[in-house]
């Protein structure tokens, strides 16, 4: 790349550093190695008066963050549900930055608007969602919940003759929120932001597989005196449990309740013929949230909200002002559907990843990561000194490392588990997460990166074996 202008020089350096970073994924430790003090000392340079040449800023930045970048792009990152970036998604994301469109209106970025229109329709088709459903490309599942639950709030109050956008929540009929108690914390934050308050939450009864039971939901909804929102989930973080949507959603609908599903990674089960059944009936719900930056392997930030009742969604989000010319009903203006006004044209990366992978590539990605999760769970859970707690039908698993001491207490088993997870992570060979599940500490295994190979799985199992054989002092 020519380097005759500051722009070209900086971008050329970025390409070089990016390629070196990706080439080094195999060798570098997966966990970050730089300490907080290291990073502060390196990055906290005096802010100059005269500025710094662009290429040098990039070179310095890369040098200063060394060891402070977690290897979540690595095929051996199994901690949280973090996908990598597919090649086309990463490249499209760079172009998004270079084009720097304000994707709030069709007129401020016509191609950005149409790309979202097209990718939104592809996604509804892939997930079997109703073709008339509206959608929003947001920052992550957190804001997707805010968007979808704002639409839900509008819809259930509108049905009671209350315009919440105009009149607010003070004095409105109190909305009941019935939810799966294993829900992700981002649901609670969305409810707080939207003014429901956590006291509005009523936990629904679960079965032994931690799925909401139809009898429990029916009993909870027997009282019909208040507007209600039911929050279910597709893909719980530890067991990847899916609520039985085909049984539950009709019960909620018959009671006039709105069903929202947190499907941050579980909605992607729909793209794999071998896993689709897990999310059976999910399409019957009223709103759905998921992430592009998890299973689709699109760079951050990429969340998605879908809403069956497009009128409720639009009413909750739309902004009309005289200085922003609308798309005139022909083009899709994102500000009618998104919580933000000015925003990144994040549809390009989603569009690129979907085109790159295609339907078969998506199905293979989901199937492959599930096989890898199972192989890791069985490979590590089967080692002497380990105990397999659960594998799932999707991409999550739990393993524990009980203390070998004959009369070890629960606290000692927990401490041993945390020590083994820390020691595996300290090898740099793989990165796993820790969690308290069912009152006990466990190691979480999550696989969602397109890069993970059988060799990565073998390398991670070997690291765990070495720790269990040679002790946790690494």
Ligand X SMILES: Cc1ncc(COP(=O)(O)O)c(C=O)c1O
C-beta of 147 vs 186, nearer to ligand X: 186
Per-residue contact flags (x/-) with ligand X for residues 194 to 233, judged by CB under 6 A: ----------------------------------------
Q: CB 339 → ligand X: shortest distance, Å? A: 13
**Which residue stretch of 9-17, 30-38, 138-146, 409-417 sits at the interface with ligand X (rule: CB under 6 A)?**
138-146
Measure the CA–CA gap between 49 and 463, rounded to whole angstroms: 49
| Token reading at 25 | 């994924």
How, if at all, do strands 396-400 and 303-307 pair?
unpaired
C-beta of 81 vs 345, nearer to ligand X: 81
Q: CB 80 → ligand X: shortest distance, Å? A: 6
**The only residue of 182, 243, 262, 414 in contact with ligand X, by rule CB under 6 A:** 262
Q: CB 306 → ligand X: shortest distance, Å? A: 15
**The only residue of 129, 237, 443, 464 in contact with ligand X, by rule CB under 6 A:** 237
**Which residue stretch of 135-143, 239-247, 274-282, 425-433 sits at the interface with ligand X (rule: CB under 6 A)?**
135-143
CB atoms within 10 A of CB 344: 20
DSSP string, 124-179: HHHHT--TT-EEEEESSHHHHHHHHHHHHHHHHHHTTT--HHHH-STTSPPPEEEE
C-beta of 74 vs 289, nearer to ligand X: 289
Closest CA to 349 of 72, 98, 131, 62: 98
Binders of ligand X in range 276-295 (CB under 6 A): 291
Q: CB 399 → ligand X: shortest distance, Å? A: 19
Regarding 140 and contact with ligand X (CB under 6 A), the answer is yes
**Which residue stretch of 136-144, 270-278, 351-359, 379-387 sits at the interface with ligand X (rule: CB under 6 A)?**
136-144
Judged by CB under 6 A, how many residues of this single chain contact ligand X? 12
**Helix axis angle, 54-64 to 36-43, nearest 10°:** 160
C-beta of 139 vs 425, nearer to ligand X: 139
Regarding 141 and contact with ligand X (CB under 6 A), the answer is yes
Measure the CA–CA gap between 364 and 381, rounded to whole angstroms: 25
**The only residue of 134, 186, 338, 425 in contact with ligand X, by rule CB under 6 A:** 186
Residue closest to ligand X when measured from CB atoms: 140
| Token reading at 17 | 């550093």
Q: How far is CA 395 from each of CA 77, 80, 106, 128, 295, rounded to the nearest angstrom?
A: 13, 11, 38, 21, 10
**The only residue of 79, 108, 142, 449 in contact with ligand X, by rule CB under 6 A:** 142
Residue with tokens 């719980």: 236
**Helix axis angle, 410-426 to 454-470, nearest 10°:** 120
Measure the CA–CA gap between 23 and 306, rounded to whole angstroms: 37
**Which residue stretch of 137-145, 315-323, 387-395, 411-419 sits at the interface with ligand X (rule: CB under 6 A)?**
137-145
Binders of ligand X in range 386-405 (CB under 6 A): none
**Which residue stretch of 139-147, 151-159, 408-416, 451-459 sits at the interface with ligand X (rule: CB under 6 A)?**
139-147
Measure the CA–CA gap between 173 and 228, rounded to whole angstroms: 10
Regarding 339 and contact with ligand X (CB under 6 A), the answer is no
* Side-by-side strand order, sheet with 440-446: 77-78, 431-437, 440-446, 396-400, 387-391
- Site residues (vs ligand X, CB under 6 A): 81, 140-142, 184, 186, 235, 237, 262, 264, 291, 303
């Amino acid at each position: 790349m020519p380097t005759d202008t500051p722009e070209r020089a900086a971008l050329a350096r970025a390409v070089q550093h990016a390629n070196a970073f990706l080439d080094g994924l195999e060798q570098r430790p997966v966990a970050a190695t730089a300490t907080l003090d290291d990073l502060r000392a390196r990055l906290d340079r005096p802010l100059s008066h005269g500025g710094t040449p662009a290429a040098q800023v990039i070179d310095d930045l890369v040098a200063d963050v060394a060891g402070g970048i977690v290897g979540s792009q690595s095929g051996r990152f199994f901690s949280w549900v973090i996908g990598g970036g597919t090649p086309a998604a990463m490249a499209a994301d760079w172009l998004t930055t270079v084009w720097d469109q304000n994707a709030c209106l069709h007129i401020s970025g016509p191609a950005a608007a149409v790309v979202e229109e097209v990718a939104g329709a592809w996604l509804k088709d892939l997930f079997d969602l109703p073709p008339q459903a509206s959608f929003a490309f947001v920052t992550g599942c957190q804001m997707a919940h805010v968007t979808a639950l704002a639409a839900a709030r509008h819809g259930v109050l509108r049905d009671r003759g209350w315009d919440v956008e105009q009149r607010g929540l003070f004095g409105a009929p109190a909305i009941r929120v019935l939810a799966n108690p294993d829900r992700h914390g981002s649901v609670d934050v969305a409810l707080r932001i939207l003014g429901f308050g956590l006291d509005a939450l009523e936990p629904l009864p679960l079965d032994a597989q931690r799925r909401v039971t139809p009898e429990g939901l029916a009993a909870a909804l027997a009282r019909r005196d208040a507007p209600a929102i039911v929050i279910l989930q597709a893909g719980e973080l530890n067991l990847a449990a899916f609520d039985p949507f085909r049984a539950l959603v009709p019960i909620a609908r018959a009671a006039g309740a709105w069903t929202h599903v947190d499907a941050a990674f579980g909605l992607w089960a729909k793209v794999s013929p071998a896993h689709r059944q897990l999310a059976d009936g999910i399409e019957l719900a009223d709103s759905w949230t998921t992430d592009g930056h998890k299973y689709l392997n699109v760079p951050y930030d990429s969340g998605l909200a879908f809403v069956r009742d497009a009128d409720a969604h639009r009413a909750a989000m739309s902004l009309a002002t005289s200085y922003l010319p609308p798309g005139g009903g022909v083009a899709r203006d994102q500000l009618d559907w998104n919580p933000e006004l000015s925003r990144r044209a994040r549809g390009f990366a989603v569009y690129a990843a979907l085109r790159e992978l295609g339907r078969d590539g998506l199905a293979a990605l989901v199937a492959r990561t599930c096989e890898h999760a199972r192989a890791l769970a069985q490979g590590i859970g089967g080692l002497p000194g380990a105990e397999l707690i659960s594998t799932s039908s999707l991409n999550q698993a739990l393993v524990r490392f009980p203390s070998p001491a004959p009369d070890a207490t629960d606290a000692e088993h927990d401490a041993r588990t945390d020590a083994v997870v820390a020691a595996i992570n300290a090898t740099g060979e793989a990165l796993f997460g820790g969690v308290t599940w069912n009152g006990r500490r466990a190691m979480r295994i999550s696989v969602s990166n397109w890069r993970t190979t059988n060799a990565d799985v073998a390398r991670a199992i070997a690291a765990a074996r070495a720790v269990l054989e040679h002790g946790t002092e690494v």
